[in-house]
Structure 1
Amino acid sequence: MVPCTRNNYQVSNSSPASTGRAMATINELPENILLELFSLVPAWKLLRHCRPVCSLWRDLIDLVSLWKRKCQREGFISQDWDQPVADWKVFYFLCSLRRNLIRNPCAQEGFKYWKIDKNRGDRWKVEDIPRDHGTEFTDPQIKKCFVTSYGTCLKSQQVDLKAAGYWKELMDTVKPDIVIKDWFAARNDCGCIYRICVKLLSDSREVLAEYTPAPVYIEQWSGAEWKEVSYTFSNYPPRVRYIHFQHGGKDTQFWAGWYGPSVTNSSVTIGPEITRKPSPAEGKDPFGRQPDTLTKDIN
């Protein structure tokens, strides 16, 4: 086989078939055809198996147009996308990884994956939506919520970014936006207090950035509509390795039972908003290997 290098790579206006000769290598295909073929190859195979083959393939795989084409092909962006993108390769990987990093956000599995930090009063409970004196959720597919009592109830999850596929160079250099969201609601017949605290932590659990808004006080008989809390961490310090998410509250009437705020549909996502949200399976590391080994392939 003819070695795959730029020195022997030439694109002519005439195809091998039109000249009556056999194609010696795949590199005799027009560049746009090679790019189309590469756009069909999974990202991790492009970087692990295709890019090291030769300088031609390396240069083609590093082209902006290839990664933009892959984003369009996989539905991450629309054909008429007009937002600026600093690095299309990194953008593609962030889109591939993007999913909700909070597990069991809507109480489908009880309290699985949640750490109960405070469990006062009659303790945490899972209830169906709508609650008594409550309202339906904005998304009819969400049927359950976590409910607090007359004593402070707090629960949390800690997201390990390396385990989730976000390697340290990505977090330290690119610093993709970290978006947190939570939904809460009161019972109409009882006042309550809702709290949320989200921290970005280092390897040693040092707090590098924090979102701790003032508690939300909801008066009795002031409605039971679901409310969303949203916050974006941007341009945060380097060394972020964990995200600690905590929320909860209590009622203000000190009634026995579960009259405090309910919470559900919590989320932590990293990276840009995209047209199509990947499924949980797609949200896994697109390279299929340990995050620490990815940087040299991306750069």
Structure 2
Amino acid sequence: MTSMSVFDIVPEDVLDAIFLRTPALDLVLNCPLVCRRWFEALSGRYFWLQKIESEGMRISERNRQLLLDNSDYSLCIYILKGVACGLLPFNRNLIRNPCGEDGRKYWVQKEAHKRHADYDSDSDEDEDYDDQYSAVRFEVEEKPVGAYPIPDKVGVPTQHCFVTSYRLGIRVQVLNFSKYSIREGVMELLKPTINYSQWVSSRHDCGCEAELSIQVKSGLWTMKPDPLDWNTSQEGVERRVWYKMEDEVQCALPIDTIVYRSTGKDRQFWAGNYGSKTTACSLILKI
């Protein structure tokens, strides 16, 4: 009679419950080596969908069915494991320092971006660029001065926000997708939606404006959606109140870079930081 190990007698539902509470990287790197049964359990597409959803991430019904039914098993399991482990750039905010809690870190001003076309937002030189080019264009407030506190619905853990002045303030992050080494066919299969947004407000005593835009590059192809504009003269806009600027576009091509660009200034040319305030900057590739 063949002897059974403890790994063989654990019920299937109990094993799944344990795996759903195990860090995804351990499930990929270590657990499949324990025994054949664990290897087979962790090779199923449906389990990885469950794992993703147990972490609070949502996948559209279209892509859910594609990942379960597509004939290319290798590509689908690669996507599912990559999303679960956070190794692929999907369903999470790719903007770093979105509220200014870390000062101007990871943000560059427009002139710096022009002069450094191959700029990588992960570079250790971020703060040097910021100090040289952006100090007079935008600042960071620990809490909004002259505006209402950032409401809970914005979903940020801090009251920090960026604030502009009488000169046009321009913040840029260049997201370089080469570091993810995304396999061929992933973007074509998933056709992710690029969702980009920020929250904006103004002081009670000074009119201001803000603009949000992105630029997507894939080889020689470039997509530049129309910018989103906001100002205190628009109908229905109340000073001090926080508003969400948001749009989305679909992209089915491999992405090289996305440039996220936020600009703003006051409309009364007052000395000091009386321009638009922004926080919760976000760019998400939704699948």
Question: Is the TM-score greater than 0.5?
Answer: yes
Percent identity, aligned pairs only, is: 27
Q: Among 90, 112, 118, which residue is 2:105 paired with?
A: 112
- Which residue of structure 2 aligns with residue 159 of structure 1? 175
- Which residue of structure 2 aligns with residue 12 of structure 1? none
Distance (whole Å) between structure 2 residues aligned to residue 265 and residue 120 of structure 1: 19
Structure 2 unaligned spans of 5+ = 69-76, 112-132
Distance (whole Å) between structure 1 residues aligned to residue 2 and residue 36 of structure 2: 23
User: Which runs of structure 2 are paired with 1:122-271 in the superposition (5 Å)?
Assistant: 122-132=136-146, 134-139=147-152, 141-163=157-179, 165=180, 167-169=182-184, 170-202=186-218, 206=220, 208-219=222-233, 222-234=238-250, 236-271=251-286
Residues 167 and 244 of structure 1: is their aligned pair in 2 closer, same or farther, counting only changes over 3 Å?
Answer: same
Q: Is the deviation greater in 248-257 or in 135-144?
A: 135-144
Residue type of the partner of 2:198? D
Please, what is the CA RMSD of the aligned residues?
A: 3.7
- Which residue of structure 2 aligns with residue 15 of structure 1? none
Count of residues in correspondence between the two structures: 244
| Local SS of the residue matching 1:223 | coil
Residue type of the partner of 2:281? S
More helix by share: 2
- Quote the offset at 1:238 in angstroms: 1.2
Residues 186 and 168 of structure 1: is their aligned pair in 2 closer, same or farther, counting only changes over 3 Å?
Answer: farther
Q: Among 46, 49, 53, which residue is 1:65 paired with?
A: 46
Residues 121 and 188 of structure 1: is their aligned pair in 2 closer, same or farther, counting only changes over 3 Å?
Answer: farther
| Local SS of the residue matching 1:65 | helix
- Quote the offset at 1:143 in angstroms: 1.6
Q: Among 83, 102, 109, which residue is 1:94 paired with?
A: 83
Q: Give the TM-score, by structure 2 length.
A: 0.68
| Local SS of the residue matching 1:125 | strand
Q: Give the TM-score, by structure 1 length.
A: 0.66
Deviations 1:98-129 (A, max 9, x none): 43211111111111111111679953122232
Q: Contact 2:202–2:276 (CA<8 Å) still a contact in 1? A: yes
Structure 1 unaligned spans of 5+ = 1-20, 273-299
Residue type of the partner of 1:162? S
Distance (whole Å) between structure 1 residues aligned to residue 202 and residue 193 of structure 2: 30
